[in-house]
Each structure stands twice: as structure tokens, then as C-alpha cells.
Structure 1
Amino acid sequence: SSYTFYDNSIGGFQIFSYSAHYKVLTRRSSNLELLRILSMFMIVVHHFAFHGTFDFKTITNTNQGALLATLILESFGKVGVAIFVLIGAYFLVEKSFSFKRVMNLVILTSFYSIIIYIILRVLKFGIPNDYLWTKIIFPYPIPTNYWFVTSYIVMLLSMPMLNIVIRNINQRKHLYILLFLTVFIVVIPDLYSYFPGKMDIWIGQFGATDATYFIYLYFIASYFRLYSSKLTRKWEYWLILVVIGNILLFISYSLPLFISDATHNYLNYSQLMIGQNSTVITMVAVSIFMLFVNINIGKVRCINYISASMFGVYLLHENSFLRPIIWNYINNNRFTTFTSMIINGLKYSFLIFIICILIDIVFRRILFEKKINKLSLKLGNYLDKKLLGK
């Protein structure tokens, strides 16, 4: 093949000549690829707790242990999401914008969404009877939506503007932007969540959305990519911050549970601190990310290969139609103690994780990757030429 294009900004989509496949993979360092795998597993664990059948909003005399375990497992999710975005942004900062990247993301998402819908429709299983064709066409033509993909595409489309800003400011101005975004994307939404009720105000006024949070993470990743120092290169420093951050995170979601009872339920405060824009979640995610940036494990081919299926794992297990089938079948409501919830949460999450990896490797990467890559390149090159003049 005459072209080679590889993108490791999100994992799971690879566009390159097959002859160059293993050569490209072995050139990649594996520290962040390992972290990508761990972050996706954290997301699956979160979905076990969040989408499962266990009632994590009601307190009884017998479910406190299982509730605490559920909160621990659920806290993994948004940390994993933030890490996943930080890894992608870290690779994107020094790349030039191309629609090939966007089109590959769109085509892969559409591929899994449509295939899963067709299979479940043929089997007459898991698709609501009132799910008409109009719901497939609008607002855009795929059967189901993925909030993460939508927000990530917004970040990708913002990449040319973000890079113009980043490449034309100095370190001090970059830090100012980070402080500004931290206040309005993270801190104020946190405070508003804990102290609601002010008239005629909502957090959207400050720009706090999933997409803007991803852009905020883009600025964080670019700052550490461009302005490393002796302090930021010390893995011991980041390990200390990881420990401190996780202690604060545990206190923030467990304390409301410990002071709650059947008549005074404060679990909504637990949910606030493990939400998307949480200050502590961001601190933990950035600390773990920088810890792995500064740990060199060399180039491990199997890690790099498995990492390329992480986006496929997300698209499979978080599909809106497949999701309730998976977690209702597992039925985590039957795990009524702290130990059983933790052990079974990790066990079943790992099982789903491995199954999704195998499906993505066999079904998408071996059978359809070449066609998907070819279509992505063709559409991406067309848009690059027409819209960017490349």
C-alpha cells in the first residue's frame, strides 16, 4: 500500500498499510497504552455499578456495605473517562488537524451502532416496539447515541482553533487559561451542585458541558506536553498526589453515606463528587495520567495491540440497546454485602471487558478494518481537500 496513517489519539481506530502494522505498533511506547486499557476497564466497572439493577439511591438497615462498594466501583468511571480523553489529547496536541480522524470515529461508531441494531431487530430482542425509523434518522442517522463520542467529536473539530491558541501563547498565558477554565468548568459547577437554589442560574451559564470539559482536558494535556519541568517529570510526586486524591475522593462520596439513615438520605451528595466535572475526579485523573507519563515500561507489542480495541470495547458494551441486556442479565442486585459486590463487580466487569476485546478483534479488526480504513481515508481526504485545501 502507498499510504500509512496511524492515529493513537483515542485507540481502536488504525489507518495504515497492513505491511506496516506491527512495525508501527512496536514503535509505540506502552506506558500510555497500558493506561488506556486500565482506564477503559475502569469505565466498564463504573457501568456495572451505575447501570446495574442494584438500587444505589435507597438506604436500608442491611445494604450499607453493598452501597459503599457500589460507590467505590462507580467512582472509577469518570476518572477513567477523563484519563481516556487526556491520553487522546496528549497525542493530538502536536498533530495537524485532519478530517480523516473525525471520519474514522464517525464511521466506527456508526458501524457498531447499526450492526448491533440490525442483529437485535432480527432477533426481535431488546429493541422497543415504538422505536420507529424516524428515531434512527434524527438527529443524525445512527440508531443509538454515545454521549462520549459526541463530546469527543466536538473536541476534535475544535482542535484547529485550540492548537492555534496553544501555539501562540507562552507558558504563563497557558496557565492562566487553565486557571480560568478550572474555575468555570470545574469549581463553580461543584459549588453550585452543593449549594443549589439561587434564582435564575444554572451551571450551563458557565459553559460546563461534557464537550467543554473535554476541551478543558485538552488544555491540561497540552500544558504538560509542552511545558515539562523537573517537578512534572518526577513520578514519585504524582504517586503522592494519586494517593491524596483518592483519599479525598473516598471521603467525599463515603461521608454522605456514613451520616445517612433511612430518614435522612444524603446519597445525592455522594453522586455529585463522582460526577463528570468533579474537582477531585479531575485531580485524581490528571495525577494518574502524569504518573504513567513518567513511568517507562518500554514497548510491549501485546499491550499496544490490545489497546487498539479499547474504543471498540466502549462502543460494544455501552450501546444503548445492548447495555440493559448485559447488566440486567448480570443482575448485581443479588450481591448484598460489601465483599460480594466488590468481587463480583470486578469479576463480571473483567468478563465483559475480555468478551468485548475479542469481539472487536475478530469481528471489526480482522474482518472489516481494511474496508473501514479505506472509507475513512477516502471521505477524510475529500473533506480535507474541500474544506481545508489540503
Structure 2
Amino acid sequence: MENTEIDSKINMVERKIGRSSNLELLRIFAIVMIIAHHYSVHGGWDIPNELSYNRIIVQLISLGGKLGVNCFILITGYFMINSKFNIKKFSKIIGQVFFYSVAIMLVFKLFGISHIGIRETAKSFFPIIFSKYWFATTYVELYILSPYLNKLINYCTEKEYQRLLIILIIILSVIPTFTNSLPGIDNLPWFVFLYLVASYIRKYQYNFFDRRKLLLLIFIGSYMLIMISVVIIDLFALKIPDFPFDPTFLREMNSLPMFICSISLFLYFKKLDMGSKKIINNISSTTFGIYLIHDNNLVRSYLWEHIAKNNSFYNSRWLSLHAIVTISLVFFICMIIEGVRINFIEKPAMKFWDKEIESKFLNKSRNYIDRAFSQHISN
């Protein structure tokens, strides 16, 4: 049976019983790792230049963020290979980013939490253009490119596709990893590469992708390698002045160990057989909103430095507990806020879209374009 036939049957089943929750659970896991990463990198830590237990803890907490980002894009590529550009979905993404960008700016301005100048106001009203959220901007760019990427994927033979992926991983991951130039890669090329990888997995179903125990071992092994590298490089960096490697350089999303880690975790979750769980799918639908709330540039420092007061726990034996509680609270509070937005703003807005914009404007526009095109062909 052709893969397209398999996918159509899968899509038909998902429409009847609901989307399978395995990759939705991965989305939840990914956003928790991203929150933990932000707890570490935006904590305003005053870390002394000495090796300590809490220093290692702070560094280790940061490792999962880029893993979470990779997983989000892999999920996107996996599902979008068989999808078309959807103006409604595109508008929903733009609207969601715009809503939180403007709403948070207004809250901070009205309550005097932070000084909001003209530049920040402009960035808040045009968050995608000004890259107020780097992930959201790059994701939108990827979404715009997705129809063309899908054409490329369908045009290539399997051998050509494999060669393309090999070339890209060498350029974007292998060389930067071994030359210590990982942060030098732009986000969009890496997102495109992950999209192509996930699409390949969806298009060509190999038995290797089904070996869950092996995938779990690969994930644990690669993640342990990244963790161990933190401690080893820390030891060298503290003793050798101007040591060229940052202790957490392998946490970059395009490092080779992180790529292996991301792929193995994605494939492991892909093979989980858990059916459709409404609660998981509902929580998963809030993950992008959770990101937009807690990693807004106005919220970021205020949250981790003034509310959570991360740095005050650096020398405390309760640092690990503080991290767990804080990350959990951020997740659940942002989830509730996003749930309220979905039910009271997004759903009514989408009903209005279907009734007024889709039926009255877009359909008429499509019909007009179709008639004009038909007349042009006949002439």
C-alpha cells in the first residue's frame, strides 16, 4: 500500500476518534523542557567562578530547551507533509502571537510594571516582523515555506532525498559541532532541515523507526553525553583561562548529540500506542500559548528575577525544589490563561471567521479567481 493511502486512512481514523495523543504528549514534554531552559538561562544568576553542585544543576536544567524546540518542529514537519497551506490556521497563529504581544505590553504599561517606549510599543504591535519571539517568527517563516518544501519533497526520489538530508546535516550540524561554531547557524535553515527529516520519516516508513527500546537507549545515551560534557568542560574551563568551549555548547539545537537526542525521542513517542486522550490533547493545544506568555521579553526578566527570585536560591540547598515548583507553576498558570483565551476569544473568533470571512469573502474570492483563470485558459 502506498504511503499516501496509509496517511489518508490514518487521517480518516483521526477525524473519527480524535488525534492520537502520543505526539501531543511530546508537545507537553517539550514545553516543560523549554520552561526549564528559560528558568536557567533567564534566571539572572550571579554564579561564582567555581564548580559547585548548584552550578551544575543550573546548567543541566538548561539542556532540554533546544531539545523541546527540535521536537516541536519535528512534529510540525511530520504532520504538514500531507497538509496544504491553510489561511485560517496561518491567521490563527498570527492572531495568537499578536494577542499576547499586545495584551502583555498593555498590562505592563497600565500597571507601571515596566517602562514601555515607542520602540517597544511598535514591536508589540508587529511581533512577527520585529522578531519579538524568535521561535514564533521562524515558525511563521517555515509555515509560509511549507507548500514549497512539500513540492520539493514530492519531486525528489528517495535517493535524492537521502543525499539532501546527508548534505544538510553535515553543513548544519556535523561541521558546526566539531568546529565549535554551533550558534552561528540561523534558525530558519535548521527548522527547514528538521521539517525535511520529519517529512522523510512520515513518507518512508522504515522498520528501524519502530524499535522503541533501541530508540530509548539512543535518547538516554545521547542526553547523558550532553550532561557529562557539561561537567567535564566546566572542569577544564575553570582551570584553563580562555578555554574555547562553553560548558553547555552541546545543548545548541543543531549540535550532533542534540539532533540524535531529538530524533530518537521523537521516534520513541511516535511509536507510543496510547490512543486519543482528550485531556492530553487539550493541554497540548495550550503549549504555544504557554511559550508566548512566559517568554515574552517583558515577562521574562520580571518572572524569573523578581517573582521567582531565582538568584536568591543559588546558594540554597532548596534550589532543585525551587526549580521544580517554579517550573510547574509557570506551566499550569500559563496553561489556564491560554485555556481561557482559546475558549473565550479564539473559538468565537474562528466561528466569526467561518461565518463571515470564509463563506462570504474567501469563497467569493476563490470563485472569482477560478472564473478569471478559466476565461484566460479558454482565450
TM-score category of the 2 structures, normalised to the smaller one: 0.7 to 0.9
Q: Paired residue for 1:321? A: 298
2:205 paired with 1:190:
no
Q: Which amino acid aligns with 2:49?
A: I
**Any conservation in 1 of the 2:124–2:132 contact (CA below 8 Å)?**
no
Q: Greater relative contact order: 1 or 2 (C-alpha under 8 angstroms, separation 6 or more)?
A: 1
Cα offset, 1:277, TM superposition = 1.9
Q: Which amino acid aligns with 2:143?
A: L
Of all paired residues, the percent bearing the same amino acid is 26
Cα offset, 1:122, TM superposition = 0.9
169-178 vs 280-289, greater mean Cα deviation: 169-178
Q: Which has the larger radius of gyration?
A: 2
Question: 1:264-303, CA deviations, whole angstroms, 9 ceiling, x for partnerless residues?
Answer: 3648522321123211111111110000001111211111
RMSD: 2.9
Paired residues, number: 353
Q: Paired residue for 1:240? A: 217
Q: Aligned runs of 1:154-193 on 2, under 5 Å?
A: 154-193=141-180
91, 105, 110: which one aligns with 1:103: 91
**Any conservation in 2 of the 1:107–1:376 contact (CA below 8 Å)?**
no
82, 102, 107: which one aligns with 1:114: 102
Between the aligned partners of 2:300 and 2:311, the Cα distance in structure 1 is 16
Q: Which amino acid aligns with 1:45?
A: A
Task: Give the structure-2-normalised TM-score.
Answer: 0.84
Question: 1:92-149, CA deviations, whole angstroms, 9 ceiling, x for partnerless residues?
Answer: 111122222222111110011111111111111123456465555668678x710001
Between the aligned partners of 1:76 and 1:338, the Cα distance in structure 2 is 23
Q: Aligned runs of 1:57-68 on 2, under 5 Å?
A: 58-60=48-50, 64-68=52-56
Q: Paired residue for 1:361? A: 339
Say if 1:54 and 1:375 are closer, same or farther in 2 by CA, change over 3 A.
Answer: farther
Cα offset, 1:334, TM superposition = 2.3
Say if 1:109 and 1:286 are closer, same or farther in 2 by CA, change over 3 A.
Answer: same
Higher helix share: 2
Say if 1:373 and 1:277 are closer, same or farther in 2 by CA, change over 3 A.
Answer: same
**Any conservation in 2 of the 1:73–1:342 contact (CA below 8 Å)?**
no
Between the aligned partners of 2:291 and 2:75, the Cα distance in structure 1 is 16
Q: Which amino acid aligns with 2:157?
A: N
**Any conservation in 2 of the 1:65–1:338 contact (CA below 8 Å)?**
no
Instruction: Give ranges in structure 1 of 5+ residues lacking alignment.
Output: 1-22, 196-201
Between the aligned partners of 1:72 and 1:338, the Cα distance in structure 2 is 17
Question: 1:295-335, CA deviations, whole angstroms, 9 ceiling, x for partnerless residues?
Answer: 11121111111111111101100111111111112122123
2:322 paired with 1:344:
yes
Task: Give the structure-1-normalised TM-score.
Answer: 0.82
Between the aligned partners of 1:28 and 1:90, the Cα distance in structure 2 is 14
Between the aligned partners of 2:362 and 2:135, the Cα distance in structure 1 is 23
